[in-house]
Structure 1
Amino acid sequence: MTLMQHDFRFLTLAGTRFARNTVVGALSLAMLLSPLVAANTATADAWSQKKCTLYGEAWRKVVEWQGREGLGHDFIDGNERFIAGGCSTPAGVCPRSAAELKAADTLSMMAVSQGITGSFLPFGCRG
């Protein structure tokens, strides 16, 4: 075996050893961190469910206080579909009438007062 072949063989073995150590290290780190990630995910899921429950309660209160007069079919259905879906997908509810704007404003204020960010809310108008 020539010197060059010997050096190449050493580099290949060293590279293999390095790659194996890197993979083992990465897997070890992933195993150590997975309980933390799982705990954070569980906390995030619990907060998402709590936000949806709070929004559902707020929606029922607003409809009770304000009534349905002036609220369009799309506005009502959009909010109820958002809640029924676990508040997990944007509903694109667009408040158009004065009554819908008042309801959306009230819902937004109620949500924010509970620590829910505006980006959670189903409101959004296109075009």
Structure 2
Amino acid sequence: MTGRHGLAALLAASLLAASFLAGPSARGQAPAPDTPPAQLDPRNDPRAESWPKVKCDRWRSAYEQALARFGSKGIGAEFTARHDAFLASGCQAPPDVCPRSAEELNLANVMVIAGMNAGMASTFMPFACRK
């Protein structure tokens, strides 16, 4: 991403990702004993929901927020279908969402930043272009 639009997208991605990191464990505080499992840090609290499910929920939410923020203009049917299949698999399908248009690439970049800021490893991302 380059230029004003790319910088705006990167800033928006950082703000979007920050919304995932809010919470007691993100501030170094211990969660209350009655904290719902979805609000516990799944990386180090056995009472938490499974980390793969939490990651997928965070990814789905970030994707919805990114589409609401940037719109779907320029996002092709193949990109959408492959991404929807990734979500439907519980975010377990091998990466095969290939961004081809400038808008798809911008969305993918925003999502990678949001994912990394939300604690997901680069191997989680669904983006890959095989051909």
Q: TM-score, normalised by structure 1?
A: 0.63
- TM-superposed CA distance for 1:91, in Å, is 4.0
User: Which residue of structure 2 lines up, in the alignment, with residue 110 of structure 1?
Assistant: 114
Q: Which has the larger radius of gyration?
A: 1
| Higher relative contact order (CA closer than 8 Å, sequence separation 6+) | 2
Q: Cα deviation per residue 1:45-92 (whole Å; 9 max; x = unaligned)?
A: 800000000000011011111111000101111111111110111140
User: Which residue of structure 2 lines up, in the alignment, with residue 83 of structure 1?
Assistant: 87
**Identity %, equivalent residues:** 33
Which residues in structure 2 correspond to 1:24-63 (within 5 Å)?
Answer: 46-63=50-67
Q: Distance in 2 between matches of 1:116 and 1:70?
A: 26
Amino acid at match of 1:71: I
Unaligned segments of structure 2, at least 5 residues: 1-45
Q: Cα deviation per residue 1:10-69 (whole Å; 9 max; x = unaligned)?
A: xxxxxxxxxxxxxxxxxxxxxxxxxxxxxxxx88x8000000000000110111111110
How many residues align? The count is 87
Q: Distance in 2 between matches of 1:102 and 1:71?
A: 10
Unaligned segments of structure 1, at least 5 residues: 1-41
Moved over 4 A (4+): none
Judging by fraction of residues, say which structure has more helix. 1
